[in-house]
Structure 1
């Protein structure tokens, strides 16, 4: 699997308007906890269905996009944070040690 970098607001709108599932991982490049969480997620992400887009946001470089994601999907900003989007709605919002590729895969399969 491979990350799709989010670097503009239009990409968030595309995710919002897409049908099916998408995952957004918000990462702070200045935080060791965020780095560890990202690595653990990547070790397990093969359980997520292959056709699920995995979006990555460097929120230090793109604070405006991070704020837009929080507003668009009606979630409280956290870092690290993962959002599972289904048909334009956030159906799962996890942060820190609660981030789990298995939980995302289970939610998609349910």
Structure 2
């Protein structure tokens, strides 16, 4: 398992996205029960798989969350997960579609 980072600034987002390889980026609302369920699925995936991962708390770090939507031209949703590969979005989904199995299939492991 790789520990996930929490991104608090645009600079941290830039550094995360600039990394090579596959990464998971999760946008989480700490007050939403759907987001909590999706976050648990995300955590369950990370327990068994080694992949760089980061979380953005959408209410606490709104500018970072907005930057993701703008940078990748993908409408903001919460919860929302992105599979990045070499800085490009290869897959994304939101809400109840965020499951351990869906993440596993998207990452390919």
Global fold match (TM > 0.5)? yes
State the alpha-carbon separation in 1 of the partners of residues 108 and 34 from structure 2: 28
Bigger mean CA deviation after superposition, 100-109 or 35-44 = 100-109
State the alpha-carbon separation in 2 of the partners of residues 15 and 71 from structure 1: 16
Question: If the length of structure 2 is used for normalisation, what is the TM-score?
Answer: 0.87
On the 8 A contact 1:23/1:84 being kept in 2, the answer is yes
Match of 2:102 in 1: 103
On the 8 A contact 2:7/2:54 being kept in 1, the answer is yes
State the alpha-carbon separation in 1 of the partners of residues 83 and 90 from structure 2: 6
Match of 1:68 in 2: 67
Match of 2:84 in 1: 85
Match of 1:10 in 2: 11
Structure 2: 5+ residue runs without aligned partners?
A: none
Match of 2:40 in 1: 39
> How many residues are matched?
108
Structure 1: 5+ residue runs without aligned partners?
A: none
Moved over 4 A (4+): none
Alignment RMSD (CA, Å): 1.7
- SS at 2:103's partner residue? helix
Question: If the length of structure 1 is used for normalisation, what is the TM-score?
Answer: 0.86
